[in-house]
Amino acid sequence: MLRPLAHLLLDPFTHFWLVLLVGLFFFWGGRKRAALVLFAYSFSWLFLISVSPLPTWLAFQREGRHPILHQVPDSLAPPHILVLGGGHTISPTLPPNNQLSDPALARLCEGIRLYRQRPGSKLVCSGYSASGRTTQAEMLARTAVVLGVPPQDTLWSPTPAHTEAEAFAYAARFGNQHPLIMVTDAIHIPRALFWFRQAGLRPIPAPANHYVKPDPLRPPYKFKPSAQKIVITDKLIHEWAGMVYARWKVS
């Protein structure tokens, strides 16, 4: 209950509307000076998160902390490649790959790319079902099979609901028996690594689903309205808040 409420309150667009509505309430109540301050703040915030290049720059800095894993190290024994859950819907008329969210599909594609580099590796699919129906782990595994991964090379971790639970569920089941490659969004890697290290694991990070894809022939940071910048801001706030919570919880 608290987690969805926190997500709602931390949403940058929700923040804009809440401040704007409070400003309107003050305006109608005759407190026009306070209302004007809130109006100025709300529209400055909207400009910052949707027009300015700040969200793009911050995301690029965070996503660049860990390099792409282009090649599974030759010295590594056949690893477990753990794909963290990233969301899905249940729409039986669609193939499983079309039921995955964009982040989940990007993570899985990266996991399969690494899996194909090392015979004998296993693709570990993680994530629960919020609705109590098909789990994220199953949907990832079904998609992997559709994309050519033998079913016997997929393993499921169908109970974890969030990153912390994914780390401890993997540690409880497998420990450090196998080299571990952890695949998740590049923006999520720092927080995911924190929880996996807390669980006693030392995974090799494999960033996927980058929100900032710089083109060397185009300027990366522009003052231009973009809904994607709001999405990026939401992801950044989610990760920062998640790290604050994680450090508080283990302190």
Domain 70-208 has CATH 3.40.50.620: yes
| Confidence band for 218, pLDDT divided at 50, 70 and 90 | confident
Distance in angstroms between the alpha carbons of the first and the last residue of the chain: 23
| Confidence band for 145, pLDDT divided at 50, 70 and 90 | very high
Q: Where do we find the tokens 């965070």?
A: 62
Radius of gyration in angstroms for the set of CA atoms belonging to the chain, rounded to a whole number? 21
Strands 154-157 and 204-208: unpaired
Q: Minimal CA–CA distance to 191: which of 173, 210, 166, 174? A: 166
pLDDT of 137 higher than 60: yes
- Summary mean pLDDT of the chain: 94
pLDDT of residue 1: 55
Name the segment(s) of the chain with CATH classification 3.40.50.620: 70-208
pLDDT of residue 232: 97
